Amino acid sequence: MWVSRSQGFTLVELLVVMVLIGLLSGLIFTSVASSLFRSEEKRFIQDFLQVMNRARAASLGRGRAVRFVIDGNERIFYMEVKKKHPIPEGIQIEGEGIAEFGENRFGIIFFPDASTSGGELDLKLGDGQVEKVIVNRLLGLITARKEG
């Protein structure tokens, strides 16, 4: 007589597989979330430098002073009254030698002769890295480099 034996999975085997799937998906989620935050920081730095360069170009093109503003109260930055860009929560901005425009509002003035009010800005990222932005007073050149 031939006996048929079921070849299925036991409950313990199914639970082990479910736990492994949960662990792997948690690791993948953590990796994806951290890379998304890094890309948000990179996008912020690109936007920050682009708006600053636009302010410099606008002052040369218009023949008048143009302000690049960082508003600490609202956590935004912008060129005069143009589109306002948010500063992500994980990023801190510290400056040295930059102009003060009011309560917790700072920035750099770009003049039509290519000079600026100048200064240095440290963009402190969530992972501890610092992007140092230096604006030359005489030539108005904007340079950025990573530190730390």
Determine the average pLDDT of the residues in 59-88: 92
Is residue 76 in some structural domain?
yes
SS (H, E, C) the chain: CCCCCCCCCCHHHHHHHHHHHHHHHHHHHHHHHHHHHHHHHHHHHHHHHHHHHHHHHHHHHHCCCEEEEEECCCCEEEECCCCCEECCCCCEEEEECCEEEECCEEEEEECCCCCECCEEEEEECCCCCEEEEEECCCCCCEEEEEEC
| Residue 33 forms part of a structural domain | no
Q: Is 26 within a domain? A: no
pTM for this model (two decimals)? 0.72
Reference 103, options 67, 72, 69, 68; nearest CA is 72
Across the chain, mean pLDDT equals: 86
Residue 12 binned pLDDT confidence (cut-offs 50, 70, 90): confident
Mean predicted confidence (pLDDT) in 51-72: 94
- State the residue range of the domain holding 126: 40-147
User: What are the tens digits of pLDDT across the range 127-145?
Assistant: 788 999 999 999 999 999 9
What number is the average pLDDT over the span 69-89? Answer: 91
As for how many domains the chain has, the answer is 1
The answer to whether residue 61 is domain-embedded is yes
Q: Is residue 103 part of a domain?
A: yes
**What CATH number does the domain containing 68 carry?**
3.55.40.10
Whole-number Å distance between alpha carbons of 83 and 91: 20
User: How far, in Å, are 16, 40, 45, 65 from residue 34 at the CA level?
Assistant: 27, 10, 17, 40
Residue 12 within a domain: no
| 135 falls within a domain | yes
Confidence of residue 35 (pLDDT cuts 50, 70, 90): low
Within a domain: 13:
no
Q: What is the identity of the amino acid at 102?
A: G
